[in-house]
A and B are shown apart, each in its own frame.
Chain A
Amino acid sequence: MVDGFDFVRSLRVAGFDFFTGVPCSLVKGVIATLEKRGCYIAETREDAAIGLAAGAYMAGKQPVVIMQNSGLGVCLNALSSLSLIYTLPCLLLITWRGYQGKDAPEHVIMGKILPDLLTTLQIPYHVLEEDSVEKSIAWAASTLKQTSCPTALVLPPGVIT
């Protein structure tokens, strides 16, 4: 597994410098690292985090919004009527609860439709794998620059500690 500390370091090396979101247990280590560095803004809702990231981007930052996939449901309007039409990029780090159908009932449907939902929204994404995390981060950074629109890294269980 990739250490949360190392994952944050890779994000920062890739240029990301504004972190907000709503937590998930799968990114416990990531958020703990960001909190320790004093560079995480704990939002109240995922769509508000998309708004916060939009403002940060316009003020010169490269934002990351961390959320559970349940939060992607909350974000549909913020993404479609703000980020995508204004071309405001942010990296979405979305945890994949309900992965392969194995999870608590509230996660099963969103777990099943997550890839299709991102495809429908035309948000490009990579599913993170332990041995190619760095590559995926580099891909996300360059895709964000190219498209100037939100791009997602999807995090299944067991990849980051």
Chain B
Amino acid sequence: MTSGIASRKPPEMTLAGALCVVLPLVQDELVVHANGFISRESFNLEDRLGNFYMIGSMGLASSIALGVALSKPERRVVVFDGDGNVLMNMGSLALIGARQPRNLVHFVFDNEAYGSTGNQPTISQHVALDAVARASGYIDVRRAETPDQLQTAAQALLARAGPSFLLIKIEPDREARNISRITHEPPQIVSRFMGAIRGEQPDLGNPQDS
């Protein structure tokens, strides 16, 4: 499917654009976010109790998600990962392939850049991360370069047994994004996420009290 750099078209989506396609498809899935703009953009678009925002420990989002997925096989766990993160912890793709968690869906937003530190290039323009995932043992591996492809692929993968992998080619943000950081404290992110894993509903108060 990949056909070399010469024939490649520029991606049609930004990170925010791609998230706007994916987020409406996410229901009660637990979503582990990689650090940087992936966490921040998703947080600003739609903050969910079932979102774990990893603010440091670059590379480990997929490891955290795998820990959840293996411990809670009845819940679907989604990773919102980035190319820089995946390249930093490729062993995690291998372990996911080896353990075969049926409830794990791995989305990688690939802008071929370290977006949060000034768009320095990663090496993902030279490395087909989807091919790495396939070789690692993910059972359903797809690539999306347009919003339509993304919609179709994301919908399919969120409805099937995994482990599955979706490489979403996006463009780096061309202008500096003044986007807010995660405002929850890290321990608060944990307690919200643990509540969502246990299936607790948020306490929204009694409507009759207002």
Contact = CB atoms under 8 A, between A and B. Distances in A.
Interface of A: 18, 41, 43-45, 47-61, 63, 77-78, 80-82, 85-88
A51 B57 contact: yes
Contact of A18 (B59, B62, B71, B193): B71
Interface string B45-78: 0000000101111111111111111111000000
B91 A55 contact: no
Contact of A43 (B69, B95, B189): B95
Contacts of B198: 60
Classify chain B: how many residues form its interface, as a range. 35 or more
19 contacts: A43-B63, A44-B95, A45-B89, A47-B60, A48-B59, A50-B63, A51-B64, A51-B67, A55-B32, A55-B66, A55-B67, A58-B68, A59-B67, A59-B72, A81-B57, A82-B54, A82-B56, A82-B60, A85-B56
Contacts of B59: 47-48, 51
B194 interface: yes
Contacts of A51: 57, 59-64, 66-67, 89, 92
A52 B186 contact: no
Interface of B: 32, 52, 54-72, 89, 91-92, 94-95, 99, 186-187, 189-190, 193-194, 197-198
Given A51-B64, A52-B64, A58 B57 contact: no
A116 B60 CA distance: 26
Most chain A C-beta atoms within 10 Å of own C-beta, residue among B63, B193, B198: B63
A87 B189 CA distance: 10
Contacts of A49: 63
A48 B91 contact: yes
